C-alpha cells in the first residue's frame, strides 16, 4: 500500500540533513549502488515494462543501461566537485570598502518532487535523470509514478530505496506516490522545494500554476512539448533527397513517434522529390501499440483534425489499425497555410510529421517566426546554409543540430535538453546531462566563518576540486 503524500514527503524532509551529510563521496557511492541494483534486476524489470508499455525488450534493455549510466554520471559529477561553484574571496581590509572573508558554494534545496514520463519508463521515470541529479545534489526525492507503468514504478522504487539505504542513505531518501490528486498534493506540499516534470503541455502548465500559487512559490522545471523543426535547404534536397527521406522516416517513427525530440515540422524547398521518397520509406511501417490507450486516442483525434484541415494535404497514411494503435501519417502545407491555420503548429504525439513548403529564405524566416520554443532545431544543408536562418532557429531551440536527426539524446557533460517555452518552463536548465544538478541547488555565502563550521569544500587547503580563489580558477588545494 502506498503511503499518503504527507507521510512520504515528511519522511523525505526528515532525510534531507543526513543525505547532505553523506557528503559527495558518500552520495557517489549511493548512486553507484543504486545503479548496480538496477542492472542486476534488469531482466525482471524489463519483463514488467514490456507488459505495461508494449515497448520492445531490445529498446527497454538499452534504456536500463542509459538509466544506470545516468546514475553513474552523477557519481562522477560529485567526485569532480566543480558543480558546487566553490568560490573563496579572502578578507581584504585594505580594499575600499573593506572586504570580509567570503566563501560561496551551492547547497541542496531540500526534498523535491519528480514526475515520471510515459515514454521512457526507466530513463525519465523513478530513477531517471531528474531523480539522479536531485539525489546527487543532496535532495531526497518523492516520485509521482506514471499511470502507464505503475507496477514497474513500484518495483523500481522499492529496489532503489533498499539500495540507497544499504549504501548509507537515510530512510525516506526515495519515496513514491500514485494518482492524479496525489500529484497535485505533492506539488502543493509546503515541504517540497522544487519539481521536475516531463509530460504534456496541459498537465505541466496546470502543475506549474500550482507551484507558482503556493504561499512559498517553488521552481517548477517542466518539459512540456516541442515540434523540433527541421530545415532542409535546396542544396541538401537536390543532393540527397532519398537519404533525407529515409532518415526522417526513421526518426519520426522511432518509438511510434512518442519521443519528445521527434521532428514534427519539416521545412522543405519546392520542386524536389522528398515527398515520394518519404512515402516509399514509410511504406513498410504498419500500426504499432502506443504507450497508453489515452495516448493512442489523442493521436487518432489529431490525425482526424489534420484530415479535416483545409490547409493541409495528405502525403502518406498507413492503415491506422485498431484501438490502442498508431501508424505513420504525413501531411504537407505551405507557409501561407500555417498563417491561415495556426492549429497546424500544435504538437502531435505519435508517428507523424508536417512538411511545410517554403519558396525562398524570406518565406522560411517568416515561418520560423511562427514557431514556439523547441528542444531542438535541425539544419540539413550543403554549402547553402544561412546565418539568418541559423540565428532564427537558435533563438527557438536549446540544441541546434547540423545534419542527423534529433531523436536520441546523448547523456554527458555537455548535453542540454531544454529550450524556450513551451519546450521547458525554464530554458536556463536541462533535464539531461551533468548540469541538470543545478536545478536542485541554491547559492549560500559564509562570511567571516570559522573553519570549523565551513563545508570541507570551502576550507583552505581542501582536497583538490575546481574552485575560484581570490579571482583565480584553480584545481589544486590552496
Ramachandran sector of residue 54 (left: φ over 0; alpha: ψ -120 to 50; beta: rest): left
Catalytic annotation, pick one of 52, 139, 260, 347: 260
139 is catalytic: no
Q: What count of other Cβ atoms lies within 10 Å of the Cβ of residue 443? A: 11
Task: Name the residue among 476, 350, 470, 422 with its Cα closest to residue 95.
Answer: 470
Cis ω for the linkage preceding 160 (within 30 of 0): no
Q: Which residue has the cell 583538490?
A: 464
DSSP, collapsed to helix, strand or coil, labels residue 129 as helix
Cis ω for the linkage preceding 97 (within 30 of 0): yes
Catalytic annotation, pick one of 32, 63, 223, 457: 223
User: SS in 3 state form for 458-471?
Assistant: HCCCCCCCCEEECC
Alpha helices in 122-271 (DSSP H): 129-137, 150-166, 180-188, 201-213, 234-253
**Residue 470 CB contacts under 8 Å (≥ 6 apart), including other chains:** 88, 89, 90
* C-alpha pair distances (Å), 98 with each of 31, 101, 469: 43, 10, 18
Pairing label, strands 329-334, 313-317: antiparallel
Crossing angle of helices 57-80/129-137, nearest 10°? Answer: 20
Residues 419, 400: Cα–Cα separation, whole Å: 11
Query: Catalytic residue numbers?
Result: 223, 260
Amino acid at each position: 500500500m502506498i503511503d499518503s503524500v504527507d507521510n512520504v514527503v515528511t519522511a523525505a524532509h526528515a532525510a534531507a540533513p543526513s543525505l547532505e551529510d553523506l557528503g559527495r563521496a558518500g552520495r557517489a557511492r549511493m548512486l553507484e549502488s543504486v545503479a548496480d541494483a538496477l542492472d542486476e534486476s534488469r531482466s525482471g524489470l524489463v519483463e514488467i515494462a514490456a507488459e505495461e508499455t508494449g515497448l520492445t525488450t531490445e529498446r527497454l534493455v538499452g534504456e536500463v543501461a542509459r538509466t544506470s549510466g545516468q546514475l553513474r554520471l552523477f557519481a562522477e559529477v560529485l567526485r569532480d566537485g566543480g558543480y558546487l561553484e566553490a568560490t573563496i574571496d579572502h578578507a581584504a581590509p585594505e580594499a575600499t570598502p573593506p572586504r570580509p572573508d567570503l566563501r560561496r558554494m551551492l547547497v541542496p534545496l531540500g526534498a523535491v518532487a519528480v514526475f515520471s514520463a510515459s515514454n521512457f519508463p526507466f530513463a525519465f521515470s523513478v530513477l531517471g535523470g531528474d531523480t539522479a541529479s536531485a539525489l546527487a545534489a543532496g535532495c531526497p526525492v518523492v516520485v509521482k509514478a506514471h499511470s502507464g507503468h505503475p507496477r514497474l514504478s513500484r518495483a523500481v522504487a522499492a529496489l532503489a530505496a533498499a539500495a540507497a539505504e544499504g549504501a548509507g542513505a537515510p530512510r525516506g531518501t526515495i519515496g513514491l506516490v500514485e494518482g492524479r490528486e496525489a500529484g497535485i498534493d505533492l506539488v502543493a506540499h509546503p515541504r517540497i522545494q522544487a519539481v521536475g516534470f516531463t509530460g504534456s503541455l496541459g498537465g505541466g502548465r496546470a502543475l506549474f500554476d500550482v507551484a507558482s500559487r503556493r504561499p512559498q512559490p517553488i521552481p517548477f522545471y517542466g518539459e512540456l512539448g516541442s515540434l523540433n523543426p527541421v530545415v532542409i535547404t535546396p542544396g541538401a534536397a537536390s543532393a540527397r533527397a532519398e537519404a533525407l527521406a529515409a532518415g526522417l522516416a526513421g526518426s519520426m517513427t522511432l518509438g511510434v513517434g512518442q519521443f519528445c525530440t521527434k521532428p514534427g515540422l519539416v521545412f522543405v524547398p519546392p520542386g524536389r522529390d522528398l515527398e515520394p521518397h518519404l512515402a516509399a520509406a514509410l511504406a513498410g511501417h504498419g500500426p504499432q501499440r502506443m504507450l497508453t490507450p489515452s495516448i493512442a486516442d489523442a493521436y487518432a483525434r489529431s490525425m482526424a483534425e489534420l484530415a479535416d484541415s483545409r490547409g493541409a494535404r495528405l502525403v502518406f497514411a498507413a492503415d491506422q489499425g485498431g484501438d490502442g494503435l498508431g501508424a505513420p501519417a504525413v501531411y504537407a502545407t505551405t507557409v501561407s497555410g500555417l498563417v491561415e491555420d495556426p492549429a497546424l503548429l500544435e504538437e502531435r504525439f505519435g508517428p507523424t510529421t508536417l512538411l511545410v513548403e517554403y519558396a525562398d529564405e524570406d518565406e522560411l524566416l517568416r515561418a520560423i517566426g511562427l514557431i514556439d520554443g523547441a528542444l531542438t532545431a535541425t539544419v540539413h544543408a550543403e554549402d547553402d546554409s544561412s546565418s539568418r536562418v541559423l540565428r532564427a532557429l537558435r533563438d527557438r531551440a536549446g540544441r541546434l543540430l547540423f545534419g542527423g536527426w534529433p531523436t536520441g539524446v546523448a547523456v554527458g557533460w555537455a548535453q542540454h535538453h531544454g529550450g524556450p517555452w513551451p519546450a521547458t518552463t525554464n530554458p536556463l536548465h536541462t533535464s539531461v546531462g551533468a548540469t541538470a544538478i543545478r536545478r536542485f541547488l541554491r547559492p549560500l555565502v559564509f562570511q567571516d566563518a570559522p573553519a570549523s563550521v565551513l563545508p570541507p569544500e570551502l576550507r583552505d587547503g581542501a582536497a583538490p576540486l575546481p574552485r575560484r580563489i581570490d579571482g583565480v580558477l584553480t584545481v589544486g588545494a590552496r
